[in-house]
Amino acid sequence: MSESVSRLAPASFPDIPPIAGVQLATYAAGIKYESRPDLFLASLAEGTSVAAAFTSSKCPSAPVEWCRRILNQGNRTARALVCNSGNANAFTGAAGTASATLTAEVVARSLGVDAERVFLASTGVIGEPLPDDILSDSLPALVDNLGVASAEAWVEAAGAICTTDTFSKGSAARINSTAAHIAGIAKGSGMIAPDMATMLAFVFTDLAVAPEILQSCLSTSVAASFNCITVDSDTSTSDTVLLFATGEQIDDEISSPTDSRLDEFQGALDSVLLDLAHQVVRDGEGATKFVQVTVTGAESDESAHNIARSIAESPLVSTALAAEDANWGRIVMAVGKAGERADRDRLSIWIGDELVAAGGAQHRDYSEPRATQHLKQDEIELRVDVGIGTGAATVWTCDLTHGYIEINAGYRS
């Protein structure tokens, strides 16, 4: 992790509760980073359900392919999750596939479980082979470190999966009417774009949820969280969200879409995933502003999402925000380039609460000093009403600064 913590970081890492049926371990293997943990293991109780979402990249990493393969075999239960940071094991050919298999097999053997129940994720440099000798030596030691999922263990786990992140990311929620919880950790700060990001998130609950229901809940939450954030419009080879339900706290399984507990679970899951997604944006490489872009009045929700994304991903908008410059013409430009139905003369634009433009021109009461005042804050809201329908969407992003260039022209990610 970087020395200097993002100014947009939360004040502290949350106090994450233990999740029954989950044990955690970290280990400093020295794959790339020196003297910090770079391996993370979660051991999961028998019968744990799993749900997943992966990168849309056509050149996915070996761990993504491994997870897809074991899921495609119809396997919907998990016994372990292994993640390394520092090397993405992406574009590493047959050697990469072998390293992924080796990792799953060594951990499976040490835990006495089936290798096809071991899920994998890797993040870091693309194109360099994973050092198999280091893995072979380190993985048994990692397994030896397994212990209770204490608050300290969550902190260490969240740190072990980081790369260019400037702070560790965690979130938790209680499922109110039960004794069960949801806990999650994530990493990511660049190569972040909708349809996932160089972004890993691992989420655990001790509620029992049938795999198909769990997958449906995860897909719903991801659509409104990780798929609504963007830092630089780049999409990683390695993006992975995994959700595990151990059922060790509440083993009366939710197996019907009409189960009355489902709304509460979905709500808690949504809050954890959105919190983690926002933390990823808050750690956007070089970010100095956390930006919420809301589009209403579009032809459809999808159209609203595309317009919001066009604004959020525009380098010209992002650089203006970095400069606290109320250059709303660039927002018009970004609406125009989205390719979605829009009518210049029906468009309204707000910066914070300040109505900037309406009816195809600058609003007569617009005050640039008031708009600039809003832009001086760390948290910025941009709003566009397209004025032609009822479609709405919100996307979160950060500004584009010298810091982004500094990090990415230097670090080899």
The rounded distance, in Å, linking the Cα atoms of 68 and 80 is: 15
Q: Closest CB to its own copies among 83 and 384?
A: 384
Handedness of CA 300, 303, 307, 309 (dihedral sign): positive
63 in Cβ contact with 122 (< 8 Å): yes
Q: Closest CB to its own copies among 104 and 342?
A: 342
Q: Closest CB to its own copies among 283 and 313?
A: 313
Q: CB of 238: closest distance to its own copies in angstroms?
A: 9
Q: CB of 286: closest distance to its own copies in angstroms?
A: 9
Q: CB of 315: closest distance to its own copies in angstroms?
A: 5
Q: Closest CB to its own copies among 58 and 133?
A: 58
384 in Cβ contact with 347 (< 8 Å): yes
Q: Closest CB to its own copies among 174 and 337?
A: 337
Pull the structure tokens for residue 311.
């604004």
List Cβ neighbours of 164 (8 Å cut-off, separation of 6 or more). 1, 2, 189, 190, 285, 407, 411, 413
Q: Closest CB to its own copies among 267 and 329?
A: 329
Q: Is 198 a catalytic residue?
A: yes
Q: Closest CB to its own copies among 182 and 355?
A: 355
Q: CB of 334: closest distance to its own copies in angstroms?
A: 7
Handedness of CA 82, 86, 91, 95 (dihedral sign): negative
Q: CB of 106: closest distance to its own copies in angstroms?
A: 22
The rounded distance, in Å, linking the Cα atoms of 213 and 273 is: 17
Q: Which of 48, 55, 164, 198 is catalytic?
A: 198
Q: Is 363 exposed, middle or buried (0-12, 13-18, 19+ CB in 10 A)?
A: middle
The rounded distance, in Å, linking the Cα atoms of 175 and 380 is: 31
The rounded distance, in Å, linking the Cα atoms of 392 and 31 is: 44
The rounded distance, in Å, linking the Cα atoms of 355 and 364 is: 9
DSSP structure class, residue 196: -
Q: CB of 408: closest distance to its own copies in angstroms?
A: 4
Helix 93-111 crosses helix 132-144 at what angle (to 10 degrees)? 20
Q: CB of 341: closest distance to its own copies in angstroms?
A: 7
Nearest to 143 by CA among 108, 99, 97, 184: 108
**Tokens 């999808």 belong to which residue?**
302
DSSP structure class, residue 197: B
Q: Closest CB to its own copies among 283 and 340?
A: 340
What amino acid occupies position 107?
Answer: V
List Cβ neighbours of 236 (8 Å cut-off, separation of 6 or more). 55, 57, 88, 123, 191, 196, 197, 198, 199
Q: CB of 371: closest distance to its own copies in angstroms?
A: 12
193 in Cβ contact with 228 (< 8 Å): no
By annotation, the residues acting in catalysis are 198
